[in-house]
Structure 1
Amino acid sequence: MKRRGLCALIVSLMLLTMISIAPGTAAALESPGVRLPISNLYPSTDLNIKIPVLPVISESISIKAIPLYRCWNGTVHWYTTNAQERDSWLASGFTDEGITCYISPVLLPNTVPLFKCMLYNDMYYATSSAERDAVMGKYGFSYQGIEGYVIPANDTSYGDVNINRWYHPESDHGDGGWFGGKPFVSSAQMDRHHFYQADAANIPGYNYEGVVFRAWDSAEILQKIKVSAPNGGESLKAGDKQEIKWTSSLKGGEMNLYYAIDGAATNGWIMIKEELPNNGSYIWTVPNKSSSNVLIQARWLYYDNETDSWAYANDTSDSVFSIAGSGVLLPGIDPGLNIFKVFPAAPTGLTVTPYLFSRLDLTWKDNSNSETGFTIERKTSGGTYAKIAEVGSNTTKYSDTSAQFGTSYYYRVKANGNFDSGYSNEAPGLLQKFAVMPNIDYDKLIPAAPTGLIAETIPGDPKGVKLSWQASTANIDGYIVERKSGSADWEMSSTVSADKTSVTESGLNTNQSYSYRVRAYKMFLNSQPSNTVVYAPKAGSGNSAGGQLTLDFFIGQGTYRINGAASAMDVSPIIYENRTLLPIRFVTAAIGANIEWFDSEKKVLINQGSTSIEL
C-alpha cells in the first residue's frame, strides 16, 4: 500500500517540531516542578509547510449491489451490468428478460471476480483466473474483462441465491450435420450459448451444469460503516483515553480513523491512525485541541493484490462533540498535521478497438472529478503490465500507435491524483492486417458417433420409449437425441450429458412410428448420427418395438408403412427373377435390430438382443 511517502512526511514534520522547541526544553522535561512553555507549533504557520488542498471526503459512502441484466434475441442470451449497454442491445432487437441477480461492483472480502469471456455469440462467466485461462486456451474464448464480483459457489455463508448455469449446444443446421457437405452458418446465426439464472429448472434443449456462483437477490447494501462513538454531544478533554467505536457489515479489510475540527471543508481531516484491523474499536488519546465542533470519520479500505483493486466505504459522526484543550503541547501528541487519504474513483468501461490497420483506440469512462490525469498500462499475453502513456485530466481516450501486428495486448487504466485510483477493467486488443481464418483441420475434431442405438418399451407407459446406446469413444460434452416422424425433418428432442447413455421420452402418439438417432457433440461440433431405430407405440398394449408390428412394402415405391404410418426410404422394393427383394435395412430398423456390413468379408450381420443372423 502506498504509504511510504506519508510516513516520511510525518516523521520529517515531527523532527522539525522537536527542533523548534526552545533550547533547554528537553532537560526541563526531565525535572519535576518545571512548567512547560505554552507552544502552538502548527505546520502551516511556525514551520511554514504547505499541505496541498485536497477534496473533502463525503460524510458517508456505502457499497450497494448492482443488477446483472439479461437480454434475449431469439437465439442467445447476453448479460451486462451496464444499463447503457443493455439499452443498446434492446434498441438492436433484443428482448429485456429482467435482472438475473445482483452482484458487487467492487471486490469485497469473500468475493471473487466474475470474468466475462466470449466465443462467437456465447457469453461465458468464469470465477477464477485459472478457469478463464482454461476456456481461452482450450476453446478459443476471448477475455472481455471483469463484470463484477460474486461469491464462490461453495460458500453458503454469504449471498442470497445460487446462480445456475445451463449449456445449449449448437443446433444441427442440416440433415448431414455440420460436415455433411453444407457450409457453416455465420457466427451471427450460431445459437450455442450458456444460460444463467437463479431457478434450477429443467430447461428442454439445455444441459444443466450446476451452481457456478452465488449472488444477491436485491440491491442490498453489501458494506456499510457506522461510527457509534464518539457520535455527538460528548465533552472530551485533551489527554483523555476515548474509545472510538464503529460497526462494519463485513469482516476483513482495514480501518483508517481521522478527526476534523471546525469543519472538514475548512481545515481538512487529521489522521488519528491508519491500517487498523477492522475490529470495531480503537483507544484514542484525545489531542490538545480546543473546539466545540469536532467530528470523527472512519474509512474502511479493502485491497486485492491479484486484481490490484480497492473497495472503499466510510462514515462520519452523526453530530459534533467538544474537546477542551490544556494549552500545553505534550510530547508525542499529534501536532495537528493534516494528512489526506483521497483516492480518485477508478475509470470503468475500458474498450479497445482496432482503427484500420494503424493503431488500437482505447476509450473509458471518467468516474472522478478530482484526478490530475490517467495512466495507461499495457502487457502482452503472459507478461507484466508497464506504463505506456499518461494523459491529462478529463481525458477518456488514447490511441496506441506502437502496437505491433499479430500481437495480443491487454490494457488497463487508472486515475492519478494525490493517490492513485484502482485500475479499470482489463481489455484485450489485437491489430491485424486482415482477417485470417485459422488453419484448423475440423474433420479431426469431430467426435466419434455413438453406436448400437436400441428402443425399448417403458412398462406402464404406452406413450413412452427408452433409448439406449453405446458411448462415443471420444472426449465429448454430451449427446443430442434426434427424432422424426414419417418424412418430416429431423429435430432435436432431448440432450443428455456425456456420462449418460440412455434417455426416456414420453408423450408419443400411439399408432404412429418414430425414427430416432443420436449424435455426440463437442463444443459446436456434432458427430455423424448413430444407427436409426424406428419405434411405434401401440394404444392399450404398452408394448415395445418387440410387440405386434405390421410392415407394408410396395414394389417400386419409396415409402413403406409401419403399423399404418408412412415412412420414407431411399431405395424401393423390386421384383428380380421372380423374387421380391426388400431393403433389409428398413426392416431391421423397424424391429429395432442393428445391421452392419463387413466389406472385407462381403457379409451382413444382424443383431437383436441375443439373436444374430449372418447373410
Structure 2
Amino acid sequence: MKRIKNGIISLILILLIFVSGIPAYALEARPQITKPDLPFISAHRVIKAEPVYRVLADDKLHWYTTSADEFNYWTGLKGINNDGIAAYISPVPLPYTVPMWNMVKNNAEQYFVTSEESRDYVIGKYGYCDCGIMGYVVALNDAAHGNAQLYQWYRGATDYVYPALAELYGLDDNKWDADHYYNTVVASISSYKYEGPQFRVWSDASTLQEIDVLSPKGGETLTGGSKVNIRWKTMIPGGNISLYYTLNPSEGWSVIDEDLENTGSYEWTVPNSAASKAIVEARWSYEGIDANCYDQSDQYFSIKLGVGTPINWALAFKPLAMKALLAPAAPSNLTAISNLLQLKPMLYWQDNSTNETGFVIERKSTGSYEKLAQVAADQTKYTDSSAEAGMTYSYRVKAVNNQLSSGYSNEVSKPVFKKPEIVIPQSEPGKAGQVNMVFTLDQRDYSVNGVTKTMDVSPVSLEGRTMLPIRFAADPIGAETVWNGTDRKVTVKLDKTTIELWIGAGIALVNGVSTPIDSENPAVNPIIMNDRTMLPMRFVAENLGCTVEWLPASKQINVNYPH
C-alpha cells in the first residue's frame, strides 16, 4: 500500500515538472488569422491589329473574314481549306485610317474598296453587294502608318461550278465569276493578273493605340477637396478621353468627365471622402466608338479628409459597375436591302459595343421616328416584315443596356421593292402584230405603239450601251422573262428563241449556243443597279427578232418588232 502511494506521488511530481517547463505563450489561446487583401492588379488594354483570315474553296476561290468563328466554320466544311492570313487590319477607326468595305458578288467573290465612290461604282457596274465595313486600313500614300502594303491579284470569269459553295448555301450549283487574291507579299500567282498595291495594312498583330495614366499613378496621398491634375499619354494623338474613378473597386465606379479632348491633362477636384483604395481609369475613344482601350493607376492611392464637410462617397455618388457606367458604343454601317429576292427590307449593322443588352430599331415613313423592334445583344440584322410594298422607310439603330443607350447609327432610307405591273398592249394603234417602242435615256416615260407608259426606273447608258430591266421591252412583244435567284440568271423566251444571261457575265446562251453579248466590249454585262436587274437592250431585242435604232440627237432608242 505504501509502495502504491509513493508511485502516485512520483507520477504527480513528474507531471508538475513537465507542465512547469511549458512556455507561457504555449498555454495561451491561438490568435485569429486575418486573410490579407489581395494586391491590386492594374487593368490595361490596348488596340491591336487583327487578322484577316483567308481560306481557299475548291482550290480555286478565296474568301476572307476577320471572325475566328466564321473562319473555323468555313474550314470545317468539305473542300474549304485554311490559306493563311492575308493581312492585319484595325478593328476600329483610328485618326489616320479609312474604312475597308467588304464587297461580295454571287455569294462568293470578295473585293475590297476604301471609298464610298468606289463602293457605289462596283455595285452599279459589276453587281456587287455591300456587306459592310470589315475593318480599317491606311491610305496607300500614307507611308507613316501601317508596316505593309496589301497587294491584289485577279483571275477572270469561268464556268466552274463550286461544290463547296453549293454545300454551304444549299444550292444545286454555284457558278463563280472571278476571284481576288490578297496578300502582303508580292509573288507570282499562277493564272492570276497582278493588280498592284491597294492600301496599307499591318503584317502582324501590332499595337495601334495605347493609353497610360501618368498620375495619380498610385502610392500618393491626396487631400479631399483639393485640385490635382490627372495626366495621361496616348501612343497616337487625337480621339477623346473619358475619366472614371473609384474609392473602393468592390463598391463600383463614378464618372469624372467624358468625351474630353485628348490634351493629356485634366484638373480634378478630389472627393472629400477618406479612402485607401482609390484608382483612376482613363479610356480612349474615336468617332464615338469606345474601343476598350484604357489604363488605370498602377497602384491604389489614398485620400485623406480635407477642409470642409466629409462625404460618404458610396451614398453621394451611387457608384456602378463599370459596364453599367459606360454607355454602349453606337452601331455603325447600317445598310438595308430590298429587291426581287428580298422583298421585305433586311437591315444589317456593325456592332461596336461590348456591354449592350440589345439593339433598338426605329423606323419612319413620314414625321418622327418610332420604335419598330428590339433585338438581343450581339444580333446585327433584322427583317422588317411589316413593311408595305411601294413605301419608302427610313431606319436607324441604337445599342442599349440596363442603364444607358448609345447614340444612333447612320440613317438609311429604302423603298420597299414592288414588282412592276406591265400591261401588254392589246388593241393599240399600229399594224396587226407589229409593236413599236421608244425609250429615252434617263427618262422613265416610254411609248408602246404611241401610248405613253411609265417605268419604275430609267434606261441608262453603261459602256456605251443602253441598259434597262428587259421586261419593259420583252412583255409588249409577248416574250416571257424569268429570274433565277439561285443562279442569278435571266431567261427570256419568245416562240422558238431562248436567251439566257447571267449577272456579271459577258457570255450569254442563245438557244444553247454561247454568244458574246458585245464582241467589241466584253465589259458589257448584265448588272444589278439599285436593286433592279439591268440587261443590254440591243443584244436581247435583236435576238428576239427586233430592229434597234439609236437616235443620238434625242437620246432615244427606237425598237420595232415586225411580227
Coarse TM-score class (shorter-chain normalised): 0.5 to 0.7
- 1:311 is aligned to 291
Distance 1:191 1:328 in 2: 76
Distance 2:61 2:282 in 1: 46
Aligned partner of 2:149 in structure 1 is 162
Mark the CA change 1:245 to 1:345 in structure 2 (over 3 Å): closer, same or farther. Answer: same
Displacement of 1:325 in angstroms is: 1.7
2:262 to 278, 294, 298: 278
Q: Could you say which residue in structure 2 is the equivalent of 1:35?
A: none
RMSD in angstroms over aligned alpha carbons?
A: 4.6
1:146 to 125, 133, 141: 133
Report the residue type matching 1:64 in the other structure: K
Distance 1:524 1:123, change over 3 A: farther
| 1:89 and 2:90 aligned | no
* CA displacement at 1:281 relative to structure 2: 2.6
1:414 corresponds in structure 2 to 398
Q: Secondary structure at the match of 1:196?
A: strand
* Residue of structure 2 equivalent to 1:102: 88
Counterpart for residue 216 of structure 1: 202
- 2:471 maps to none
CA contact under 8 A between 2:151 and 2:186: conserved in structure 1? yes
Match of 1:203 among 182, 185, 189: 189
**What amino acid does structure 1 have at the position aligned with 2:280?**
I
Evaluate the alpha carbon distance shift between residue 388 and residue 139 of structure 1 in structure 2; reply closer, same or farther with a 3 A threshold.
farther
Against the structure 1 CA distance between its residues 366 and 277, is the aligned structure 2 distance closer, same or farther, given a 3 Å change threshold? closer
Q: 1:388 to 1:207 in 2, by over 3 A?
A: farther
Deviation at 1:327, TM superposition (A): 4.0
Note the C-alpha offset of 1:79: 1.0
Q: How does 1:330-369 map to 2 (within 5 A)?
A: 337=317, 341-344=325-328, 359=344
Q: 1:64 to 1:369 in 2, by over 3 A?
A: closer
Cα deviation, residue 93, structure 1: 2.0
Residues 395 and 442 (structure 1 numbering): CA distance in 2 closer, same or farther, change over 3 Å?
Answer: closer
Equivalent position amino acid for 2:144 in 1: S
Q: Would the alpha carbon gap of residues 270 and 290 (structure 1) be closer, same or farther in structure 2, given more than 3 Å must change? A: farther
Partner residue, 1:128: 115
CA distance in 2, matches of 1:358, 1:171: 30
Q: Paired residue for 2:65, among 68, 73, 80?
A: 80
Offset at 1:389?
Answer: 1.5
**Separation (CA, whole Å) in 1 of partners of 2:54 and 2:524:** 23
Counterpart of 1:469 in structure 2 is none
CA distance in 2, matches of 1:356, 1:207: 33
2:224–2:272 contact (8 Å) kept in structure 1: yes
The residue aligned with 2:372 is 389
Whether 1:522 and 2:523 are equivalent positions in the alignment is: yes
Determine if contact 2:395/2:412 at 8 Å carries over to the other structure: yes
Deviations 1:299-357 (A, max 9, x none): 222116xxxx5534221112111122224159xxxx96468751236679999899998
Letter in 1 for 2:149: N
Is this contact kept in 2: 1:101–1:218, CA < 8 A? yes
How far off is 1:78 after superposition?
Answer: 1.4
Which whole-Å CA distance do the structure 2 matches of 1:96 and 1:211 have between them? 23
- Which residues of 2 match residues 480-495 of structure 1 at below 5 A? none
Cα distance between partner residues in 1 of 2:131 and 2:345: 16
**2:239–2:261 contact (8 Å) kept in structure 1:** yes
What's 1:321 paired with?
301
Cα offsets for 1:22-74 (capped at 9, x unmatched) = xxxxxxxxxxxxxxxxxxxxxxxxxxxxxxxxxxxx94443222211112223
Offset at 1:193?
A: 2.5
Provide the aligned length of Structure 1 versus Structure 2: 374
Cα separation, 2, equivalents of 1:406 and 1:213: 41
TM-score by length of 1: 0.51
Q: Please say which of residues 417-426 and 350-359 is displaced more in the overlay.
A: 350-359
- Does residue 1:62 correspond to 2:62, yes or no? no
Query: Quick one: distance in 1 between partners of 2:127 and 2:120?
Result: 10
Contact kept, 8 Å, 1:373 with 1:390, in 2: the verdict is no
* Structure 1: distance between partners of 2:86 and 2:417: 36
Deviations 1:165-220 (A, max 9, x none): 222222489xxxxxxxxxxxx99333423221111234343333322121111223
Partner of 1:493: none
Matched letter for residue 170 of structure 1: A
> CA shift at 1:269, angstroms?
1.7
In percent, how many aligned pairs have the same letter? 38
Is the contact between residue 132 and residue 333 of structure 2 (CA under 8 Å) also seen in structure 1? no
Gaps of 5+ in 1: 1-57, 174-185, 447-517, 526-615
Change (3 A) 1:102 1:425: farther
Which residue in the other structure is 1:118 paired with?
A: 104
One-letter amino acid of the counterpart of residue 133, structure 1: D
1:407 and 1:285 map into 2 onto residues whose CA distance is 55
Instruction: Give the 3-state SS of the residue equivalent to 1:189 in structure 2.
Output: coil
Partner of 2:16: none
1:557-586 superposed Cα distances (whole Å, 9 cap, x missing partner): xxxxxxxxxxxxxxxxxxxxxxxxxxxxxx
Using the TM superposition, give the Cα deviation of residue 97 of structure 1 relative to its aligned residue in structure 2, in angstroms.
0.6
- 1:260 maps to 246
Say if 2:225 and 2:307, in contact at 8 Å, map to a contact too: no
State whether residues 170 and 524 of structure 1, in contact with CA within 8 Å, keep that contact through their aligned partners in structure 2. no
Structure 2 unaligned blocks of 5 or more: 1-41, 161-171, 422-456, 467-518, 527-563
1:235 and 2:221 aligned: yes
**What is the CA distance between 1:295 and its match in structure 2?**
1.1
3-state DSSP class of the match of 2:287? Answer: strand
Comparing 420-429 and 310-319, the one that deviates more: 420-429
1:244 matched to 2:244? The reply is no
AA partner of residue 128 (structure 1): S
The partner residue of 2:278 within 282, 290, 294 is 294
CA distance in 1, matches of 2:281, 2:394: 38
Question: How do residues 440-479 of structure 1 correspond to structure 2 at under 5 angstroms?
Answer: none
Post-superposition Cα deviations, 1:351-375, rounded to whole Å, max 9, x if no partner, equal 9899998745668898978545421
**Does the C-alpha gap of structure 1 residues 283 and 521 become closer, same or farther in structure 2, counting only changes over 3 Å?**
same
The one-letter code of the counterpart of 1:110 is Y
Q: Deviations over 1:145-164 (max 9, x none)?
A: 11111111111111111001
Contact 1:168-1:206 at 8 Å conserved across structures = yes
Native 8 Å contact 1:192 1:524 kept in 2: no
Change in CA separation of 1:243 and 1:433 when aligned onto 2, cut-off 3 Å: closer
